[in-house]
């Protein structure tokens, strides 16, 4: 009986292993994002390892993460800076529209577009080697082509963060443990069929 319970192929043990992996992955991403300039590379490495977890490629977390971080450093930093700049501009515009709330509607809409592009861009950067402009173009195209998946991922991510910010003191441990890795894991489950379809098309050419 005990052998079956602690068997690593047991669904319960696999689930506990995935939770531990996501916990470690989240802490690594938070630490590697502290120099703000490296946040983009850290998020690309996060998406890389999250996809490996979803695909069942059990090769640990720490080594694959730092390997992906090094491999995505240049492109990831560039993507990160682009989206950080966009976020600052949107934040300034949002605050500037305080006296006319109706003007905040297009700002929020623009933020959603930028947010979905970022979700796809870092995942694409983690998976494929392309110039930054090509990654951004592909991110925009895929977010539209697979709109239901895009909407589902955006809804989950935004809802998670809004709830955590609303109940910040209670949710702070959740943010520190899974605030980045859980959305990345859900995203990897949604992105994996897309990537497999794209890769099969490339093989068929």
**What pLDDT does 4 receive?**
52
Cα–Cα dist 69/48, whole Å: 9
**What pLDDT does 2 receive?**
44
- Whether residue 5 has pLDDT greater than 50: no
Cβ contacts of residue 160 below 8 Å, gap of 6+? 179, 182, 183
Extract the tokens encoding 6.
Answer: 């602690």
Domain range spanning residue 29? 2-204
- The pTM is what? 0.87
How many domains in the chain? 1
**What pLDDT does 11 receive?**
65
Cα–Cα dist 123/135, whole Å: 10
- Whether residue 3 has pLDDT greater than 80: no
* Inter-residue contact 47 to 54 (CB < 8 Å): no
**What pLDDT does 120 receive?**
94
- Whether residue 169 has pLDDT greater than 50: yes
Which of the four pLDDT bands, split at 50, 70 and 90, describes residue 10? low
Other CB atoms within a 10 A radius of the CB of residue 81 amount to: 15
**What pLDDT does 163 receive?**
83
* Inter-residue contact 122 to 75 (CB < 8 Å): no
Q: pLDDT tens digits, residue range 80-126?
A: 999 999 999 999 999 998 888 888 899 989 998 898 999 999 999 99
Which residue intervals of 59-103 are DSSP H helices?
Answer: 62-71, 73-96
């Amino acid at each position: 009986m005990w052998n079956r319970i602690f068997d690593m192929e047991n669904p319960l043990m696999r689930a506990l292993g995935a939770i531990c992996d996501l916990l470690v992955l989240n802490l690594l991403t938070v630490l590697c994002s502290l120099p703000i300039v490296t946040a983009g590379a850290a998020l690309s490495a996060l998406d890389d390892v999250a996809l490996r977890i979803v695909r069942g490629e059990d090769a640990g977390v720490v080594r694959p993460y730092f390997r992906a971080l090094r491999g995505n450093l240049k492109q990831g930093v560039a993507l990160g800076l682009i989206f950080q700049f966009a976020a600052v501009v949107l934040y300034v515009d949002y605050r500037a529209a305080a006296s006319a709330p109706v003007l905040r509607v297009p700002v929020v809409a623009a933020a959603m577009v930028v947010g979905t592009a970022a979700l796809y861009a870092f995942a694409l950067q983690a998976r494929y080697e392309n110039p930054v402009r090509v990654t951004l173009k592909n991110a925009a195209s895929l977010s539209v082509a697979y709109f239901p998946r895009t909407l589902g991922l955006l809804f989950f991510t935004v809802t998670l963060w809004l709830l955590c910010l609303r109940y910040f003191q209670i949710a702070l441990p959740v943010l520190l443990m899974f605030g980045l890795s859980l959305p990345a894991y859900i995203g990897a489950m949604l992105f994996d069929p897309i990537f497999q379809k794209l890769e099969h098309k490339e093989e068929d050419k």
